[in-house]
Structures are given as structure tokens and as C-alpha cells.
């Protein structure tokens, strides 16, 4: 179900997994209340550290995308939370589209835009740390 | 014996069995050769001498089967071959060579003390030495009987153990070399030592009686039934010291 | 409850004559983690691992594994009883066959995992009756792995576990390490020249340069600690104002450890045309932190 994450991409593996799960939910590969594969299974299949998968699952739970049910495993959050995640995504889309269009008009190419985005993401991460 | 210890002995066996078989079967072949070469009337083709035995003593021997066998077997063949075997057994596998790489690391990472590991290996080699001396010797006695002659089994055993006493000291010496020297140095020093032994045995008069080869041929026992306790004691002491030293060195060394 | 690290060394030192192989090494490996050890050739990795196993004795400093001292004969033996070691030279004793070697090694480890032994034998297609001396290089590496990984050991100390293996086998070995650590009973310390392997499965990284640890961190922390910064100037770039900066035309590139905001601010204050911040890959960090500056 999941692609092998790229360890050298600069994006932490756990974040790549978080994105993959979210993407799987959006495309319908994972449905509300459906069980996610176990942490150890995912770790073994993708050959990544168990803690990394655990961290991804914790992050997803933190964002309300999945639920961790004690003794049973990880499940995609029920309807309300899932569509909540989807709604958030849909709401952010226009803001992103506007920004991308405006930056593209300045004549930046895709690589430059990506770097800009990373810079801002880092700034955001650093900023939230100093709280 | 614990499974682990069994395995240590087994490994020591697999490391040394090639040389052991080569040595022992060479000796057994020699027995056959000796038996076939044994002349119909001993008087005619008496051998000339034995290692480290004074010529005068040799000439005074009665020209019978017993002397013949002693001169050939205990005086020459067994001494030479057992010495070679002793050196060979001390040089293979144990103790771990100086510039240790590869396979020795696997063994060193096992939960066994180095003393025990090396000790088992030394012991195995020595046991093989004993067997390689005793069994062919017993065959000599049997072979003699087949030709209608006799060589006392008891005497044979004592003689073979005397040979072992001497070979054991050589073994211990070369174990020590293996523990302390690199391959090149070991080869050179080993040859030099044997040469020195030989030198003192054959060329320097008056020193023959102290030669290790004389201990091995056991002329005192053969001629006068006297067991050379001093020689044995000296050999055993030297051996134990050398072995203990080797084990201590192996224990402390970095690999 | 914070557990004691399974491996902890302080100021470990080992010199061979004039050459100092390990020069005050501080190492910590938490229980249950997969710790990747990175270092250039001759950086002291192998010597350090051998010291942990009691194969080499440190000149000074101390080290403990499972709380046992590495430079004490008896305690070192206790360490080895619970550890699976894979040496750098994957040579095995030549006189015994594959089957005999396995039986030999198995006798020393009462917790031997027969299931793992069989799994690896199937995976590697090792012929049980071939002697150690007649195996190909790849097969020897595989056999060494079987012997090290099947011990049921609480700690695996592996010196370049995937060297000599093709990519498919490497992946299988990494998978086994992930699974073993994931079961919760095993800690893994492995050295590697493949940075991507460490990125892939390790949750902790340690970098050794010239016998000393230049980095020892949780993998997740690295993204916060290290960033690549590129600053473009209008004229000649003030290369001396920035640590470890590379000058390429009007651009300065550098790996920043720690406060990247400060560097960005400085760049802006010097009227930089643009300041770019990007995440640093483990390779970037490795190349920078282990570079030997030419005097």
C-alpha cells in the first residue's frame, strides 16, 4: 500500500509516511474506520525503523486523522474526523493556488518555488519551537 | 562436558586432524617399511647409529632384532617424524597468529575465555602427538612378532613415551613461537632452533648427552633400563613454562 | 523510567605505536535502538567495535556494555555471551563446513534462534556441506551474518553488515535488523559506508572522525539541528564571516548546525541578494563533519 520512503530526500521518513497515509485516505485506499496495517508490519515491509512508523502514527493521531485503539491497532478516524481532514485540505487549496500562481508570475521555476516553500516551512517549524 | 566445550575440542580436532593423520600414517607406513627391510640375519645389515647416541654405545650393542628395531625405530624414525609432527601441530591454527584477521575474530567474539580456547587446542595437539607415537610403536611390536621376533610391548610403550616427552618439549617451544611471532619470524627462528639442536646433538662432542634427541631415543633405558627422570623432568618443566607463557600471551594480546 | 544506555563509553583511547586509532571516544547507544555508526576509512570505527567486544583492549578510558566493563576479562565474557558480533573481515574458520560452523557457534548460545538460522539459510542458499575455506566472498559474508544474527543476542554489533551483499540481500538483512529491533528485545549497533542505509533504518546516528565522535544524535533531531544555507551576494561574498562556508562565484554555501535564524539574519544584514534554507541530508552532514581540513 505504501511506497518505500526516500531516506535521502531531506524530508524525514515519518513525515513522508504521514503524507502517504493522508494521501491514501484522500484517494479512498483507506476508508473511515478501516484498520491500518500494524506498525511492525509496515516497518518490515518498507524496511524502516519501527520507531519511525510509530512516530508517523502518533503524528496522524495528533492531527486527528487516525485513532489508536488500545489493544486493537490503528484505525482511520470515523467520518467526522476524516472529512474534517479532507475539509481542511480543501480549504487550504485556494490559498495555496493563489500563492503558487502569484509566485509563478514572478518568473520562478518549479525548483525555486519548492525551495521557497521549504524555507518557509523551516521558518514555521523553528518559530513554533520557540514557543 | 558442556556442549560448548565439546565444540572447542571438536574444532581443535578439525584444525589439526590433517597433520595428525599425515603424521600417523607416515609412521605406520614406516613400520611396514621397517618390517619388510628387516634382514633375515640381523648381523649382516646392522644400522649405523641412532640420533644423539654415542657411537661406542652403538657398536657395543648385540646384533639382534631388539637392537635393530631400537636403532631404526626409536633411534631414528620415530624421533625424526615425531619432531616434525610436533612442529607441524604447533604451527597450525593455534595459537592465533600475530597479525590476526578474519576468521580468528569470529572465535574471539565467542563467550569463551581465551585461555580455555587456546588450552584446549594445545591439549588436543598433545594428545594427537601421544597417539601418533604409541600406536605405531605397538604396531612395531606386532610386526616384530609377525617376523618371529619380539620387542617387549612394555619397553616399547616406555620408549614411545620418552619420545613424546622430548617431542612435547619441541611442541611447547613451537607453540610459544606461534604465540609470539609472525609467520616469517616464526619460520626463521624455528629453523634456527632446530639447526641449533642438531648442531649440539651431532657436531659438538660431549654435549650429546644433554640433547633432547637423546631423551627421545631413550638410550639409557634401552641399554641399562634406567629411566632418565632428570631429562623427563627438565622437559616437562620447560614445556609447562612455555605453554603457560603462551596462554598468558594470547590472553593479553590485542587482536 | 529512563533506562541506562546499553553501550556507554567515555574517553576511550587506543593507539598502535604512534598512530592513534581511537582518541577519546564517547559513545552512547540506548537500549532497543538501531544506531548507525558512520565514519571514513581509518576513522577508528572498527577498533572501537573490537574494543566493545573485548577483542582489543583500550589504552585508557572506560566502556560498559550491559553495565559490564569491557576491559575486564570476566565481564567481557559476560558481554560476549549476550552479543552477536560481525567482524569487518567476513572470514570464517576454514576447516569446518557451513553446517559444522553453525553447530559450533550454536553451542555457545543457549538462546540460539533456530527460526532465524533457518530463515537465513533459506534466504542465502548456503550449502551446508561446503567448507568455510571454499566459499565465495559473498557466501562468506552471508555465513558470517547467519552466525551473528541467529544467536538470540540482546545486542548486535555489526561491522558493515551489508558489505559483500547485493542490493536485494542487503535489503533483506536490513529488514531482519528492523524486525529484530522492532520485537523489542534487541539493540543494534552497526557501522556502514552506505549512508542511505543508516538513514533508512537507524533511529540514532553516531559519526566518528579521527577516533572521536563528532556527532551523536537521534535521527529525528538531525533535521532540527542541521540545515543547508545558501546566500547569494552582489559582489564578492564575505566568506570569512561564515563558518565552513564554500565560495562559488557570488554564492556562499554552508552547513549550519544549530541556530540557522542567526545565520540568515547575518546574511540579510550583509545585504545578501537571497538567502535559501534547505534541509540537510545525512550525506551533507557526514561530508562536512568528517572532512579532514587540509592545513
Q: What is the pLDDT of residues C204-253, one digit of tens each?
A: 999 999 999 999 999 888 888 899 999 998 888 888 888 888 888 888 99
Query: Are chains A and C in contact at 3+ CB pairs closer than 8 Å?
Result: yes
Find which of A14, A48, A103 to mutate to test the C interface (most C CBs within 10 Å of its CB): A48
Question: Is C87 part of the contact surface with chain B (CB cutoff 8 Å)?
Answer: yes
Same domain (yes/no): A55, A95? no
Q: Which CA distances in Å does C89 have to C21, C82, C85?
A: 18, 21, 12
In a domain, A6, yes or no: no
Same domain (yes/no): A27, A45? yes
The backbone torsions φ and ψ at residue C61, rounded to the nearest 5 degrees and listed phi first, read 90, 175
pTM listed for this prediction? 0.84
Residue C289 CB neighbour total at 10 angstroms: 17
In a domain, A47, yes or no: yes
Mean pLDDT calculated for residue range C158-162: 95
In a domain, A103, yes or no: yes
Q: Do A47 and C220 touch (CB under 8 A)?
A: no
Mean of per-residue pLDDT scores for chain B:
84
Give one DSSP letter per residue of B41-109, joined into a string: STTTT-----TT--HHHHHTS--SHHHHHIIIIIIIIHHHHHHHHHHHHHHSSPSPPSS--THHHHHHT
Given a cut of 80, whether residue C292 has pLDDT beyond it is: no
Cell 583492549 found at: C57
pLDDT in single tens digits along all 255 residues of chain B = 788 999 999 999 988 999 999 999 999 999 988 887 776 655 556 666 777 777 777 777 777 778 888 888 888 889 889 999 999 999 876 555 555 555 788 889 999 999 999 999 999 999 999 999 999 999 999 888 888 788 888 888 999 999 999 999 999 999 998 888 777 777 788 888 887 777 766 666 666 667 788 888 888 888 888 888 888 999 999 999 999 999 999 898 888
Same domain (yes/no): A62, A86? no
Same domain (yes/no): A48, A91? no
Rounded Cα–Cα distance for residues B24 and B42 (Å): 27
Domain coverage including residue A115 = 81-129
In a domain, A3, yes or no: no
What percent of chain C shows pLDDT beyond 70?
98
Q: Do A8 and C223 touch (CB under 8 A)?
A: no
pLDDT score at B100: 53
Give residue C119's pLDDT band: very low, low, confident or very high (50, 70, 90): very high
Q: Chain C residues with CB inside 8 Å of B109's CB?
A: 53, 55, 80, 83, 85, 87
Same domain (yes/no): A88, A68? no
Look at residues A76, A98, A115 and tell me which one is the last residue of a structural domain.
A76
Rounded Cα–Cα distance for residues B157 and B141 (Å): 10
Q: State in Å, rounded, how far the first CA of chain B is from the last one.
A: 29
Look at residues A32, A50, A76 and tell me which one is the last residue of a structural domain.
A76
What percent of chain A shows pLDDT beyond 90?
28
Mean pLDDT calculated for residue range A29-43: 90
Question: Is C77 part of the contact surface with chain B (CB cutoff 8 Å)?
Answer: yes
Question: Is B15 part of the contact surface with chain C (CB cutoff 8 Å)?
Answer: yes
Q: State in Å, rounded, how far the first CA of chain A is from the last one.
A: 37
Mean pLDDT calculated for residue range C58-67: 95
Q: Are C177 and C128 in contact (CB under 8 A)?
A: no
In a domain, A2, yes or no: no
In a domain, A4, yes or no: no
Q: Are B50 and B76 in contact (CB under 8 A)?
A: yes
Q: Pairing state of beta strands C34-39 and C204-209?
A: parallel
List the C68-69 sheet strands across, edge first: C19-29, C7-16, C60-65, C68-69
Q: Chain A residues with CB inside 8 Å of C227's CB?
A: 122
Q: Are B160 and B137 in contact (CB under 8 A)?
A: yes
Chain B residue whose CA is closest to C53:
B109
**Which of these, B159, B182, B184, B164, lies nearest to B239 by C-alpha position?**
B164
**B-to-C residue pairs, Cβ atoms closer than 8 angstroms:** 77
Residue C35 forms beta bridges with which residues? Answer: C189, C204
Mean of per-residue pLDDT scores for chain C:
91
Question: Is C75 part of the contact surface with chain A (CB cutoff 8 Å)?
Answer: no
Residues within 8 A of C (CB atoms), B 188-217 only: none
Given a cut of 60, whether residue C1 has pLDDT beyond it is: no
Angstroms from C144 CA to nearest CA on chain A: 21
Q: Do C195 and A44 touch (CB under 8 A)?
A: no
Give residue C67's pLDDT band: very low, low, confident or very high (50, 70, 90): very high
Same domain (yes/no): A65, A86? no
B88 HSE (CA, 13 A, CB side): 19
CATH code (residue A58)? 1.10.10.10
pLDDT score at C53: 96
Question: Is C148 part of the contact surface with chain A (CB cutoff 8 Å)?
Answer: no
Q: Chain C residues with CB inside 8 Å of A50's CB?
A: 178, 181-182
pLDDT score at A20: 93
Question: Is C218 part of the contact surface with chain A (CB cutoff 8 Å)?
Answer: no
In a domain, A39, yes or no: yes
**Which of these, B136, B167, B142, B168, lies nearest to B51 by C-alpha position?**
B167
Same domain (yes/no): A70, A87? no
Rounded Cα–Cα distance for residues C179 and C173 (Å): 10
Write the Ramachandran bin of C160: left for phi over 0, alpha for psi from -120 to 50, otherwise beta: left
Same domain (yes/no): A93, A64? no
pLDDT score at C161: 96
B61 HSE (CA, 13 A, CB side): 27
Given a cut of 50, whether residue C295 has pLDDT beyond it is: no
Closest Cβ opposite residue C281 in set A10, A51, A119: A10
Q: Which chains touch A (3+ CB pairs under 8 A)?
A: C
Q: Do B105 and C87 touch (CB under 8 A)?
A: yes
Same domain (yes/no): A63, A117? no
Q: Chain C residues with CB inside 8 Å of A103's CB?
A: none
Mean pLDDT calculated for residue range A11-33: 89
How many folded domains does chain A comprise?
2
Cell 487550504 found at: A92
Rounded Cα–Cα distance for residues C139 and C117 (Å): 15
- Residues listed for chain A: 131
Look at residues A31, A54, A76 and tell me which one is the last residue of a structural domain.
A76
Give one DSSP letter per residue of A52-112, joined into a string: HHHHHHHHHHHTTSEEEETTTEEEEPPHHHHHHHHHHHHHHHHHHHHHHHHHHHTT--HHH
Mean pLDDT calculated for residue range C150-156: 96
Q: Which chains touch C (3+ CB pairs under 8 A)?
A: A, B
Q: Chain A residues with CB inside 8 Å of C199's CB?
A: 7-8, 13
Question: Is C280 part of the contact surface with chain A (CB cutoff 8 Å)?
Answer: yes
The ipTM assigned to this model is: 0.87
In a domain, A1, yes or no: no
**Which of these, B111, B72, A1, B56, lies nearest to C112 by C-alpha position?**
B111
Same domain (yes/no): A56, A91? no
Cell 541467529 found at: C150
**Ranges A81-85, B30-34, C31-35, most confident:** C31-35
Same domain (yes/no): A66, A85? no
Given a cut of 50, whether residue C294 has pLDDT beyond it is: no
Interacting residues of C192 by C-beta distance below 8 A, sequence separation 6+? C36, C37, C38, C160, C161, C162, C198
Out of B89-98, B223-232, C72-81, C268-277, pick the least confident: B89-98
- Residues listed for chain B: 255
Q: Are A88 and C223 in contact (CB under 8 A)?
A: no
DSSP E strands: which ranges in C66-141?
A: 68-69, 83-86
The backbone torsions φ and ψ at residue C274, rounded to the nearest 5 degrees and listed phi first, read -155, 150
Chain A residue whose CA is closest to C222:
A12
Same domain (yes/no): A22, A43? yes
pLDDT score at A11: 83
Rounded Cα–Cα distance for residues C83 and A5 (Å): 31
Given a cut of 60, whether residue C46 has pLDDT beyond it is: yes
Q: Do C203 and A49 touch (CB under 8 A)?
A: yes
Q: Do B93 and C95 touch (CB under 8 A)?
A: yes
pLDDT score at A131: 46
Amino acid at each position: 500500500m505504501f511506497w518505500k520512503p526516500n531516506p535521502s530526500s531531506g524530508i524525514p521518513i515519518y513525515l513522508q509516511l504521514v503524507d502517504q497515509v493522508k494521501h491514501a485516505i484522500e484517494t479512498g485506499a483507506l476508508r473511515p474506520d478501516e484498520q491500518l496495517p500494524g506498525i511492525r508490519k509496515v516497518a518490515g515491509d518498507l524496511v524502516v525503523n519501527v520507531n519511525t512508523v510509530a512516530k508517523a502514527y502518533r503524528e496522524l493521531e495528533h492531527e486527528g486523522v487516525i485513532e489508536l485503539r488500545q489493544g486493537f491497532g490503528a484505525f482511520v478516524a470515523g467520518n467526522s474526523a476524516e472529512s474534517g481532514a479532507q475539509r481542511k485540505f480543501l480549504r487550504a487549496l485556494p490559498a495555496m493556488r493563489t500563492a503558487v500562481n502569484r509566485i509563478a508570475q514572478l518568473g520562478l521555476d518549479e525548483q525555486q518555488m519548492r525551495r521557497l516553500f521549504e524555507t518557509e516551512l523551516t521558518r514555521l517549524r523553528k518559530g513554533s519551537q520557540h514557543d | 562436558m558442556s556442549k560448548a566445550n565439546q565444540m572447542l575440542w571438536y574444532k581443535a580436532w578439525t584444525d589439526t586432524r590433517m597433520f595428525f593423520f599425515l603424521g600417523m600414517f607416515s609412521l605406520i607406513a614406516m613400520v611396514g617399511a621397517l618390517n619388510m627391510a628387516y634382514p633375515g640375519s640381523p648381523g649382516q645389515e646392522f644400522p649405523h647409529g641412532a640420533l644423539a647416541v654415542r657411537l661406542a654405545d652403538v657398536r657395543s650393542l648385540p646384533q639382534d632384532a631388539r637392537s635393530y628395531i631400537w636403532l631404526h625405530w626409536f633411534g631414528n624414525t620415530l624421533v625424526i617424524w615425531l619432531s616434525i609432527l610436533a612442529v607441524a601441530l604447533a604451527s597450525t591454527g593455534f595459537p592465533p597468529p600475530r597479525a590476526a584477521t578474519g576468521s580468528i575474530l569470529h572465535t574471539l567474539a565467542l563467550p569463551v575465555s581465551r585461555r580455555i580456547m587456546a588450552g584446549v587446542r594445545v591439549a588436543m595437539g598433545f594428545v594427537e602427538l601421544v597417539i601418533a607415537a604409541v600406536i605405531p610403536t605397538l604396531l612395531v611390536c606386532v610386526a616384530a612378532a609377525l617376523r618371529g621376533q619380539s620387542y617387549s610391548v612394555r619397553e616399547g610403550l616406555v620408549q614411545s613415551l620418552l619420545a613424546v616427552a622430548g617431542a612435547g618439549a619441541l611442541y611447547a617451544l613451537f607453540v610459544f613461537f606461534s604465540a609470539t611471532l609472525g609467520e616469517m619470524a616464526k619460520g626463521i627462528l624455528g629453523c634456527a632452533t632446530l639447526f641449533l639442536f642438531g648442531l649440539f646433538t651431532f657436531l659438538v662432542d660431549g654435549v650429546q648427552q644433554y640433547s633432547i634427541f637423546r631423551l627421545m631415543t631413550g638410550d639409557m633405558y634401552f641399554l641399562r633400563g634406567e629411566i632418565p627422570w632428570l631429562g623427563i623432568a627438565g622437559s616437562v618443566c620447560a614445556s609447562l613454562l612455555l605453554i603457560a607463557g603462551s596462554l598468558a600471551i594470547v590472553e593479553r594480546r590485542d587482536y | 523510567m529512563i533506562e541506562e544506555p546499553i553501550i556507554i563509553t567515555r574517553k576511550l583511547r587506543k593507539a598502535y605505536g604512534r598512530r592513534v586509532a581511537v582518541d577519546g571516544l564517547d559513545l552512547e547507544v540506548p537500549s532497543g535502538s538501531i544506531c548507525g555508526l558512520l565514519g571514513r576509512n581509518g576513522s577508528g570505527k572498527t577498533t572501537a567495535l573490537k574494543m566493545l567486544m573485548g577483542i582489543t583492549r583500550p589504552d585508557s578510558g572506560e566502556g560498559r556494555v550491559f553495565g559490564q566493563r569491557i576491559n575486564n576479562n570476566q565481564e567481557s565474557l559476560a558481554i560476549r555471551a549476550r552479543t552477536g558480533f560481525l567482524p569487518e573481515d567476513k572470514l570464517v574458520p576454514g576447516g569446518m563446513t557451513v553446517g559444522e560452523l553453525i553447530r559450533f557457534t550454536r553451542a555457545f548460545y543457549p538462546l540460539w534462534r533456530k527460526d532465524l538460522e533457518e530463515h537465513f539459510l533459506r534466504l542465502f542458499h548456503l550449502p551446508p556441506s561446503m567448507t568455510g575455506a571454499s566459499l565465495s566472498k559473498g557466501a562468506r559474508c552471508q555465513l558470517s551474518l547467519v552466525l551473528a544474527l541467529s544467536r538470540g543476542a540482546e545486542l548486535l554489533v555489526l561491522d558493515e553488515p551489508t558489505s559483500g551483499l547485493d542490493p536485494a540481500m542487503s535489503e533483506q538483512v536490513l529488514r531482519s535488523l528492523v524486525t529484530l529491533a522492532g520485537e523489542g528485545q534487541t539493540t543494534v549497533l552497526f557501522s556502514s559506508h552506505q549512508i542511505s542505509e543508516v538513514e533508512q533504518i537507524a533511529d540514532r546516528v553516531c559519526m566518528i572522525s579521527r577516533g572521536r565522535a563528532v556527532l551523536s544524535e537521534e535521527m529525528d533531531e538531525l533535521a532540527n539541528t542541521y540545515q543547508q544555507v545558501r546566500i547569494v551576494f552582489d559582489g564578492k561574498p564575505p566568506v570569512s564571516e561564515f563558518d565552513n562556508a564554500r565560495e562559488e562565484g557570488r554564492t556562499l554555501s554552508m552547513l549550519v548546525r544549530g541556530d540557522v535564524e542567526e545565520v540568515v539574519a547575518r546574511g540579510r544584514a550583509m545585504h545578501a541578494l537571497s538567502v535559501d534554507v534547505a534541509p540537510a541530508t545525512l550525506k551533507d552532514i557526514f561530508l562536512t563533519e568528517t572532512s579532514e581540513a587540509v592545513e
